[in-house]
Chain A
Amino acid sequence: MIRISGVNKKYQDIKALDHVDLEIGKGELFGLLGPNGAGKTSLIKILCGLLSVNSGDIFINGLDLRKDITSIKRIIGIVPQDLAIYKDLTAYENIRFFASLYGLKGKALKAAVEETLEFTGLSDSARKKPKTFSGGMKRRLNIACGLAHSPKILFMDEPTVGIDPQTRNHILESVRQLNRKGCTVIYTTHYMEEAESLCSRIAIIDHGKIIAQGSREELQSLIKDYNRFVVTMKQSYSIVIDTLRKIQGVLRVEQQGPRVLIDNDLGIDNLEQIISYFTESGFKLHDFRMEAPNLEMVFLTLTGRKLRD
């Protein structure tokens, strides 16, 4: 459905996208995971025709983005990262305005607006202006404006930034529902948990480059020897992080009160040494677990930094 090959984008001397290659299939819920400034928004803007590329090719639904931009725009929808709504128009008027730009009119327009209000849980506030809305309601309206025209492809650029967990869950469930209805969703985020729980395939982007892509399992398999030991001590002893780091295979150590997170790439080969450190130091242990690698660890391993750095 979307084929991106060799796309480069520069802002003066800064490379926003560096030879990006991606393929996203019809009906996929595709995640674009990366820290702030990685190039996610630039890529979304390019796919929506708001930015041009310096080089490379993009085909959406078989249409060349350079030549058939208007036809492509008819089948896409965008939910931008920042709120893009009119604060002086009601929720109903906001959705109706944007939907009407896609050619909807009359009864079809009315039905689409009402259905979208229902879908986003804003029916009761349809005649209210967003300035009276909570942050979560504004976010939902922001989403509603992007999907009232029933796009085949929906670009969602970090739609859950800065909202409460309840609204986030509502939005994530809405995204799943949309996808189940057949909408291809490209979802950008820097929240690893969202990408893991939501997306069937994920591309990890950093400094404008796609550094890995595939299903969650495929990405995790890239670091199959990596794991995380979670050691819980009986109380918050002061551990010497440097000593733990010197153990072969240990990549990173973080203490969170009585909990110590130890990332390592030697599987269980250094387990004995790690346990010995705690017992020889006189730290009494309460619990010990080993977690399988997650996307955070994949990103950390591939880039050397945390997703939220």
Chain B
Amino acid sequence: MNTLIIALKILKQNFTQPANLIILVIVPLVLIQLLGTALSGVFSASNNIAEISLAYQVVDKGPIGEAFEHYLKIATKNSSDSIDNRDEGLKQLEQAQYQAFVVMDEKAEKIDLYFNNAGGISAGIIESLIRAFVNDYDFKMALNMKDSEQAEIPIEFNENYFIDKTLNRTVQADSMDHMAILMLSMFVLFGAFLVSYTIETEKANLTINRIYSAPVKKESIFLGIYIGNFVSQLAMVLCLFLLSNFLLGIYFGENILKVLLILLSEVFLSVSIGMALAMLIKDTKALKALLNVLILSFVFFAGGYGPLPEVPFFQTAKLFSPMTWVKEGLFEVIFNGSSEKVMPAILICFGFGLLLMGLSFIVTSRRKEI
């Protein structure tokens, strides 16, 4: 009963604080809209790409090469030319007939990108286009730009670019969908800040002393705080999910239940991180610092602030970020209809969350002083 009383109190506090709703619901919605619109050129073939002149040589004659060539034509609105010889391409680049020259090798394993000095903003756009293609998920989106007739052709790739061998080509994901998933997985993790803030405020206001001086078991207090935060976080995530779907028209695929399960597991993790650190660390400054480092690292290594460099360190580090797994699980289930990465994402979030929650529960219940 006391657990419920404490949980309800936290629920009420979290939902009567406009700041919480703004930070965890409104801000991500606005960011999805703003960043989605700003990056729409990278994702959408229908947008204009100003004054691009691009030459390319696709040595690979297989499906990837074919897809790449097709992608370049659509992305540059046919302002790209095919050149059969690398030397010839480089020569024309030096003569400033093109702003960039792209070469995909015969095994479709490497793309070389050359610029001339006149590159400027267009060079940045071209690089973004190529990065978008190379990026695992952006690559799939680029392929999705094919018209529906071609898209029905099953393509099998033996390269590392793909995890799934069949693609759901009926889905045309745009930058808004991409941003929505990124923001959703990122802001769920940011919920850890709200949880730790709730507990810190309780400690700073000394109301926690009042609760502990009441005839309530420590375990009930712990669970009450946990449940209250978990339910309020989950409700805010559902709000964000529904609003982004209905207001912004974000596509969440056919397997809504699996999408929600992944988000639920991430909420569990986020609340566990916030709660564990706030319960275990008494010093406020140390708590804030550790929470910042942990959460922001997770987001950074999951590519939340932009694509990671293609170097082994970052590629390994990203595997240690739960957000990477959440993001990939969501992308897979939404755009490819594949459940292959759903379970790993859920298990990692629940596993890590349970570990943290268990640890803080044991420490809190054994603590003799408040």
Contacts of A97 in B (CB 8 A): 5, 9
Residue of A nearest to B207 (CB): A84
Contacts of A83 in B (CB 8 A): 205-206
Residue of A nearest to B368 (CB): A52
Check if B369 sits within 8 Å of A85, measured CB to CB. no
Residue of A nearest to B206 (CB): A84
Tell me whether B214 is interfacial, beta carbon within 8 Å.
Answer: yes
Contacts of B370 in A (CB 8 A): 50-51
Chain B residues with a Cβ closer than 8 Å to the other chain, count: 23
- How far apart sit A88 and B13, CA to CA, in the bound complex (Å)? 7
For window 182-229 of B, CB contacts with A under 8 Å fall at 205-207, 209-217
Name B206's contact: one of A52, A73, A74, A82 (CB within 8 Å): A82
Residue of B nearest to A145 (CB): B210
Given A52-B368, A97-B9, A100-B5, residue A70 in contact with residue B215 (CB < 8 A) = yes
Check if A86 sits within 8 Å of B13, measured CB to CB. yes
Name A101's contact: one of B13, B216, B369 (CB within 8 Å): B216
Binary interface encoding of chain A residues 93-134 relative to chain B, with 1 for a CB under 8 A from any of its CBs, else 0: 100011011110000000000000000000000000000000
Name B213's contact: one of A73, A82, A88, A100 (CB within 8 Å): A73
Q: How far is the CB of A121 from chain B (nearest CB, A)?
A: 21
- How far apart sit A98 and B369, CA to CA, in the bound complex (Å)? 20
Check if A101 sits within 8 Å of B212, measured CB to CB. no
Q: How far is the CB of A110 from chain B (nearest CB, A)?
A: 15
Tell me whether B16 is interfacial, beta carbon within 8 Å.
Answer: yes
Tell me whether A78 is interfacial, beta carbon within 8 Å.
Answer: yes
Tell me whether A87 is interfacial, beta carbon within 8 Å.
Answer: yes
- How far apart sit A169 and B243, CA to CA, in the bound complex (Å)? 54
Q: How far is the CB of B102 from chain A (nearest CB, A)?
A: 57
Tell me whether B17 is interfacial, beta carbon within 8 Å.
Answer: yes
Tell me whether B2 is interfacial, beta carbon within 8 Å.
Answer: yes
Report the 3 A-B pairs with minimum CB-CB distance, sorted nearest first.
Answer: A101-B214, A73-B215, A84-B206
Residue pairs across A and B with Cβ atoms less than 8 A apart, 24 shown, are A49-B212, A49-B213, A50-B213, A52-B369, A71-B215, A73-B213, A73-B215, A74-B215, A76-B213, A78-B209, A78-B213, A80-B206, A80-B209, A82-B206, A89-B13, A97-B5, A98-B211, A98-B214, A101-B2, A101-B6, A101-B211, A101-B214, A102-B214, A146-B210
